[in-house]
Amino acid sequence: MQRYAAALILPLLVMTVLTRSWLMRRHGAQAMHFGKIDKKDFLIPPFALLYFYIVFAAAFDWPSPSKRVLFASDAISWAGVVLCIAGYSIFLMSLVAFGDSFRVGIDTGTPDRLVTSGLFRFTRNPIYVAFWVVLLGEFFVFPSWVLLIYLAAASGLFHRQVLREEAYLKEHYGTEYTEYCARVRRYV
């Protein structure tokens, strides 16, 4: 049961982002800006697809690059499911707080207002926190060395993107963003 629940969160995340982007496009806003500033971002999707396969392989007993588990515990597995659901919930609350300002990637063409309400009162990057919580939950449900490496790599990639976004926000919003950074932590 835990394996299916955890695996379901991944397509839910993707479908939610795509649906939100599609709805915004219908209202005249372009939400997808992935890879427009740094073309190296296009190296990420193949690794993300491999991650999806590894999780689904573990959930549905498909062939996998690694079937070796680092630990086995029903309690930790259920905690992983709770983390996946919590991460998805944080993601949804972040989308609500973002409103029409939601973008995938950095939008230099039509930047919107600086969002500091909702979950953005507690963390400057709730979506990245949400993704990290989901990945941690996935690792707890599917405790393999491969997913542990993915968790570490994702942490680095998220931080890299956060630093890029912060540089842009600092340049675009100036003092307003600097004051926001002084009040609210980067992550948690």
**How confident is the model over 12-63, as pLDDT tens digits?**
999 999 998 898 888 787 766 666 566 677 778 899 999 999 999 999 999 9
Nearest one of 181, 160, 188 to 40, comparing CA atoms: 160
Give the model's pLDDT for residue 44. Answer: 83
Q: Is residue 42 part of a domain?
A: yes
Q: Is residue 53 part of a domain?
A: yes
Q: Is residue 158 part of a domain?
A: yes
The CA distances from residue 139 to 51, 123, 133, 142, 143, in Å, are 11, 23, 10, 5, 5
Q: Is the pLDDT of residue 157 over 70?
A: yes
Confidence of residue 185 (pLDDT cuts 50, 70, 90): very high
Question: What is the C-alpha separation between 68 and 1, in angstroms, rounded?
Answer: 19
Give the model's pLDDT for residue 98. Answer: 87
**How confident is the model over 119-151, as pLDDT tens digits?**
999 999 999 999 999 999 999 999 999 999 999
Q: Is the pLDDT of residue 1 over 70?
A: yes
Q: Is residue 31 part of a domain?
A: yes
Give the model's pLDDT for residue 96. Answer: 94
**How confident is the model over 81-123, as pLDDT tens digits?**
999 999 999 999 999 998 877 777 666 677 678 999 999 999 9
Give the model's pLDDT for residue 105. Answer: 61
Residues near 154 by Cβ (< 8 Å), separated by ≥ 6? 131, 132, 135
- Domain residue limits at 45: 2-183
Q: Is residue 133 part of a domain?
A: yes
Nearest one of 83, 78, 60, 57 to 151, comparing CA atoms: 83
Give the model's pLDDT for residue 5. Answer: 97
- The enclosing domain of 111 has a CATH number of 1.20.120.1630
Q: Is the pLDDT of residue 72 over 90?
A: yes
Q: Is residue 75 part of a domain?
A: yes
- Residue 119 exposed, middle or buried by CB count within 10 Å (0-12, 13-18, 19+): buried
Start-end of H helices in 27-125: 44-60, 74-98
Q: Is residue 188 part of a domain?
A: no
Q: Is residue 55 part of a domain?
A: yes
Residue scoring higher pLDDT (165 or 55) = 55
Q: Tell me the whole-structure pTM to 2 decimals.
A: 0.92
DSSP code for 32: B
Give the model's pLDDT for residue 39. Answer: 66
What is the total count of domains within the chain? 1
User: Helix-strand-coil percent breakdown of the chain, rounded to 5?
Assistant: 70, 0, 30
